[in-house]
A and B are shown apart, each in its own frame.
Chain A
Amino acid sequence: MFEKALVGSRKYWGLVIVLSSIIGIGFILYMWQLKVGLRITGMSRDVSWGFYIAQFTYLVGIAAGGVMVVLPYYLHDYKAFGRITILGEFLAVAACTMCLLFIIVDLGKPMRLFNVLLHPTPNSILFWDMIVLNVYLLLNIVIGWMVLQCERNGAPPPKWLKVMAYISIPWAPSIHIVTAFLYQGLPGRGYWLTAIMAPRFLSSAFCSGPALVLLLALLIRKYTKFDPGREQIQSLAKIVTYLIIINVLFICFEFFTVFYSQIPEHMHHFKHLFITGSKISPLMWISYIGMAIAAILLVFPAIRRDEGALAVCCAIVIITTWIDKGLGLMIGGFVPNPFGRVFEYWPTLPEALISLGVWATGFLIITILYKIAISVKEEIRA
Chain B
Amino acid sequence: MDVSRREFLKKIAGLSAILFGSKTAFELLAPGELEAQYLPKPEALTAKRWAMVIDMGKMDEETRNKCIKVCHRTHNVPDIAKENPRHIVKWIWTEPYENAFPGLEQEHMAERLKDKLFIVLCNQCDNPPCVRVCPTKATWRREDGVVMMDQHRCIGCRFCMAACPFGSRSFNWRDPRPFIKERDPEYPTREKGVVEKCNFCAERLAKGLMPACVEVSNGALIFGDLTDENSKVRKTLREYYTIRRKPYLGTDPQVYYIVDTLL
CB < 8 Å: which of B135, B159, B165 contacts A338?
Answer: B165
Contact partners of B132 in chain A: CB under 8 A: 123-124
Name the residue on B nearest A127 (C-beta): B135
Smallest distance from the beta carbon of A264 to chain B beta carbons, Å?
Answer: 7
**In whole angstroms, what is the CA distance A18 to B164 when docked?**
42
**In whole angstroms, what is the CA distance A36 to B89 when docked?**
16
Smallest distance from the beta carbon of B258 to chain A beta carbons, Å?
Answer: 21
**In whole angstroms, what is the CA distance A78 to B99 when docked?**
58
B86 touches A109 (CB 8 A): no
**In whole angstroms, what is the CA distance A140 to B213 when docked?**
55
Contact partners of A119 in chain B: CB under 8 A: 136-137, 153
Flag whether B209 is at the interface (Cβ < 8 A): no
Contact partners of A264 in chain B: CB under 8 A: 103
Flag whether A303 is at the interface (Cβ < 8 A): no
Flag whether A46 is at the interface (Cβ < 8 A): yes
Flag whether A49 is at the interface (Cβ < 8 A): yes
**In whole angstroms, what is the CA distance A230 to B84 when docked?**
56
Flag whether B219 is at the interface (Cβ < 8 A): no
**In whole angstroms, what is the CA distance A343 to B172 when docked?**
18
CB < 8 Å: which of B87, B88, B136 contacts A116?
Answer: B136
Segment at the interface with B among A183-191, A201-209, A357-365: A183-191
A116 touches B155 (CB 8 A): yes
Counting chain B CB atoms within 10 Å of each CB, the highest count among A106, A189, A340 belongs to: A340
Contact partners of B164 in chain A: CB under 8 A: 188, 338
Segment at the interface with A among B31-39, B53-61, B199-207, B246-254: B246-254
Flag whether B167 is at the interface (Cβ < 8 A): yes
Given A112-B155, A338-B166, is A188 in contact with B249 using a C-beta cutoff of 8 Å?
A: yes
Counting chain A CB atoms within 10 Å of each CB, the highest count among B164, B166, B173, B175 belongs to: B173
A46 touches B175 (CB 8 A): no
Smallest distance from the beta carbon of A82 to chain B beta carbons, Å?
Answer: 39
Given A109-B193, A124-B132, is A38 in contact with B137 using a C-beta cutoff of 8 Å?
A: no
Contact partners of B99 in chain A: CB under 8 A: 339-341
Contact partners of B9 in chain A: CB under 8 A: none
B167 touches A126 (CB 8 A): no
A187 touches B159 (CB 8 A): no
B153 touches A37 (CB 8 A): no
Q: In chain A between 106 and 134, which residues have their CB closer than 8 angstroms to a CB of chain B? A: 106-110, 112-113, 115-116, 118-119, 121, 123-127, 130
Name the residue on A nearest B105 (C-beta): A340
CB < 8 Å: which of A38, A44, A46, A188 contacts B165?
Answer: A188
Flag whether A337 is at the interface (Cβ < 8 A): yes
A-contact 0/1 string along B154-190, CB 8 Å cutoff: 1111110111111100111111000000000000000
Smallest distance from the beta carbon of A320 to chain B beta carbons, Å?
Answer: 25
Smallest distance from the beta carbon of A41 to chain B beta carbons, Å?
Answer: 8
CB < 8 Å: which of A44, A112, A130 contacts B86?
Answer: A44
Flag whether A43 is at the interface (Cβ < 8 A): yes
Q: In chain A between 154 and 197, which residues have their CB closer than 8 angstroms to a CB of chain B? A: 182-183, 185-189
Given A188-B249, A339-B167, is A48 in contact with B153 using a C-beta cutoff of 8 Å?
A: no
Counting chain B CB atoms within 10 Å of each CB, the highest count among A36, A119, A130 belongs to: A119
Given A115-B138, A186-B162, A188-B166, is A37 in contact with B172 using a C-beta cutoff of 8 Å?
A: yes
Contact partners of B100 in chain A: CB under 8 A: 339
B156 touches A187 (CB 8 A): no
Contact partners of A182 in chain B: CB under 8 A: 159
Flag whether A265 is at the interface (Cβ < 8 A): yes
Size bracket of the B interface: 35 or more
Smallest distance from the beta carbon of A14 to chain B beta carbons, Å?
Answer: 38
Interface residue SS majority, chain A: loop
B-contact 0/1 string along A79-120, CB 8 Å cutoff: 000000000000000000000000100111110110110110
Q: In chain A between 282 and 309, which residues have their CB closer than 8 angstroms to a CB of chain B? A: none
A43 touches B133 (CB 8 A): no
Contact partners of B192 in chain A: CB under 8 A: 36-39, 108
B135 touches A109 (CB 8 A): no
B249 touches A115 (CB 8 A): no
Contact partners of A338 in chain B: CB under 8 A: 102, 164-167
Flag whether A328 is at the interface (Cβ < 8 A): no
Flag whether A45 is at the interface (Cβ < 8 A): yes
Contact partners of A144 in chain B: CB under 8 A: none
Contact partners of A341 in chain B: CB under 8 A: 99
CB < 8 Å: which of A48, A125, A183 contacts B161?
Answer: A48
Smallest distance from the beta carbon of A218 to chain B beta carbons, Å?
Answer: 38
Given A37-B173, A39-B173, A48-B162, is A343 in contact with B135 using a C-beta cutoff of 8 Å?
A: no
**In whole angstroms, what is the CA distance A110 to B154 when docked?**
10
CB < 8 Å: which of B88, B103, B162, B167 contacts A265?
Answer: B103
CB < 8 Å: which of B86, B159, B165 contacts A45?
Answer: B86
Name the residue on A nearest B153 (C-beta): A115
Flag whether A228 is at the interface (Cβ < 8 A): no
Smallest distance from the beta carbon of A242 to chain B beta carbons, Å?
Answer: 32
Smallest distance from the beta carbon of B254 to chain A beta carbons, Å?
Answer: 16
B156 touches A108 (CB 8 A): yes
**In whole angstroms, what is the CA distance A107 to B192 when docked?**
11
**10 nearest A-B pairs in the assembled complex, by CB-CB distance:** A108-B156, A188-B165, A108-B193, A44-B86, A37-B192, A126-B135, A339-B99, A340-B102, A338-B167, A124-B135
Can you give 9 A-B contacts (C-beta < 8 A)?
A39-B87, A108-B157, A108-B194, A115-B138, A116-B155, A119-B136, A121-B136, A187-B251, A340-B99
Residues of A within 8 A of B (CB): 36-39, 43-46, 48-49, 103, 106-110, 112-113, 115-116, 118-119, 121, 123-127, 130, 182-183, 185-189, 264-265, 333-334, 337-341, 343
**Apart from A44-B86, A187-B249, A340-B99, what 19 extra A-B contacts exist at CB < 8 Å?**
A38-B192, A44-B87, A45-B171, A46-B86, A49-B162, A106-B157, A107-B156, A108-B155, A108-B156, A108-B193, A109-B155, A112-B153, A116-B136, A124-B133, A124-B134, A183-B162, A188-B166, A339-B99, A339-B100
